[in-house]
Amino acid sequence: MKKLLICTTTLIALLAGCSQSTAPEDVAKVTYEWEKATLKADYEREQQLLYKEGTYEIHKDSPARNNSLKYKDMKIEVFYDKKNERYYSLFNYINPEAGNKVEDSYVVREKNEELKIDIEGSKDIDQVKIRNSFEREACIHCK
């Protein structure tokens, strides 16, 4: 009986831990939402997506712009840094309005059970170092 109780408790703890993990697709989606907001100069949406509000003020007084970027048009690689509890989102796409290729990367962190873009942590990302240091969790829309 005691063994059954211990096994049941262990199983419940294990399953609870599994349900709290972040899917790489969620990291990719917040990356897309951020890019879409910045391309549209949507200051309010940018602030909602930031890990620390007020750390990205470029579009505070900018007029809104049109942009038709689609999630499926972004190639997004997701890496997880277990030690620092952060995700790295490395991505590229062709800007549908300007026609230029965009290649960038962000640190994505959890705050209040939501994924947010950490602009301050994203400033000096070395993509080669990230690829060499961490296992890729997923590659979204990779061909």
pLDDT per position as a tens digit, 73-125: 999 999 999 999 999 999 999 999 999 999 999 999 999 999 999 999 999 99
Tell me the one-letter amino acid at 31. Answer: T
Rounded CA-CA distance 42/62 in Å is 8
pLDDT of 133 strictly over 50: yes
Q: What's the CA angle centered on 72, arms 70 and 75, to 5 degrees?
A: 110
Q: Which fold has domain 23-140?
A: Nuclear Transport Factor 2; Chain: A, (3.10.450)
pLDDT of 59 strictly over 50: yes
Listed by start position, the domains of the chain span: 23-140
User: Residues 104, 36: contact at Cβ < 8 Å?
Assistant: no
User: Residues 16, 64: contact at Cβ < 8 Å?
Assistant: no
The pLDDT confidence band at residue 2, using thresholds 50, 70 and 90, is: low
- Residue 21: predicted pLDDT: 78
User: Residues 105, 130: contact at Cβ < 8 Å?
Assistant: yes
> What's the pTM?
0.84
User: Using one digit for the tens of pLDDT, what is the confidence trace for 8-44?
Assistant: 444 444 444 443 478 999 999 999 999 999 999 999 9
Rounded CA-CA distance 88/31 in Å is 10
